[in-house]
Structure formats: structure tokens, C-alpha cells
Amino acid sequence: MSLVNILNIQVLDNPAPFTNQFQFEITFECNAELKDDLEWKMIYVGSAESSEYDQVLDSIMVGPIPVGVNKFIFSADAPKIELLPQKDLLDITVVLLSCLYNDKEFVRVGYYVHNEYIDPELVENPPAQVVVSKLQRSILADKPKVTRYTIDWTNPQNDPLLTEAQMAEQQQQQQQQDTMME
């Protein structure tokens, strides 16, 4: 059982110019006292062909976490254009929000991101070199992909062998990987 559950994630400033910050309002519930902080990461997938273009936009520590419902805004700068393949700038990609406890990821939320020109002339006749200042980023906010992972909340330094019940639970969670967050 997870001690931290995401209740809601609201995408702010959407749609937005490509160069604007990503902003997410994250509401989560903590069911028991945590000895350590949570680490949140925001990752921009730069290319479907290779993870070498993925960029960690930001990584923050959140804590101490009181028991109950908590909320914060996670903001990060847009990806560095010079590190992205030009051919993948005008395409659909993904932004990931990942939460870890003691370096163990227990939840990942992915959103599809569509980068496009909104100027009809540029849509009809796209220039050879992408004009980043004319790009708009739209995050498909109502269809996140949520993946949950089982971790040992009480003894995070140990990585014990999974019991049969834990393995069955983990398999069930993997099968629910495409569950939509409401």
C-alpha cells in the first residue's frame, strides 16, 4: 500500500507558448508520517527514438510532509531547444512527472504534449528551420497515463525480495498502467 497517493494534477497555463514554463498544481494525500522528503522530477521526452534527448526540467525536494492532503505548484523552465532534434520539435511528445521516496520511484504521470504552429501561414508552409517563438505547446491534460510502483516505505535502504503477494500486486498495477487519472 502506498503511503502517498496523488489526488489531482491540474495543468496550468495550457495551451502556452513553447518557451513558457511548465506548471502543474499537484494535490496528494499522505497517509502516514514520512521520515524523509519526497523528490519530484519533471522530465521532457525530447525524442521518441532515443532517451538521450530526455531533459530533466527540474527536480525538487518537498517536505516535511504532514499527514493529510497537501498541495503545491511544480514549475519548470521549457526544455533547452538546442538539445532537441529539430525534426522532433513539431510533433507529439511527452512530459513526465515522477515522484520518489528515498530514491525509489513510486508513481509516474505522463502527459502527451503537442507542439505546433498556430499561425495559419506557418501551418500551411512550415519553414525548414523551426521558428520556436511561433510554437504553441498544448498538453493533453485530461488524459494522463499513471503508473504506480510498489516500494518499501518503512525500510527504503533494503531492497528485499518480493513476496508472492507483492509480486501479484505489482503485476496487477502494471496491468492498470494505462488507467486514466480522474
Residue 95 CA to residue 48 CA, distance in Å, equals 12
Confidence of residue 173 (pLDDT cuts 50, 70, 90): low
Amino acid symbol at 3: L
Confirm whether 93 is domain-assigned: yes
Bond into 17 cis (ω within 30): no
State how many domains the chain has: 1
Confirm whether 181 is domain-assigned: no
Question: What is the chain's mean pLDDT, rounded?
Answer: 88
The domain in which residue 21 lies consists of 4-175
Count the Cβ atoms, other than its own, within 10 Å of residue 94: 17
Confirm whether 137 is domain-assigned: yes
CB contact at 8 A, 95 and 22: yes
Confirm whether 72 is domain-assigned: yes
Give the rounded percent of residues in the chain with a pLDDT score beyond 90: 76
What backbone phi and psi angles, to 5 degrees, belong to 121?
-65, -40
Q: What is the CATH number of the domain that holds 65?
A: 2.60.40.1490
Confirm whether 180 is domain-assigned: no
Reference 35, options 83, 60, 3; nearest CA is 3
Confirm whether 182 is domain-assigned: no
Reference 34, options 4, 9, 60, 74; nearest CA is 4
Confirm whether 79 is domain-assigned: yes
pLDDT digits (tens, 9 = 90+) for 89-131: 998 999 999 999 999 999 999 999 999 999 999 999 999 999 9
Confirm whether 151 is domain-assigned: yes
Res. 1: pLDDT tops 80: no
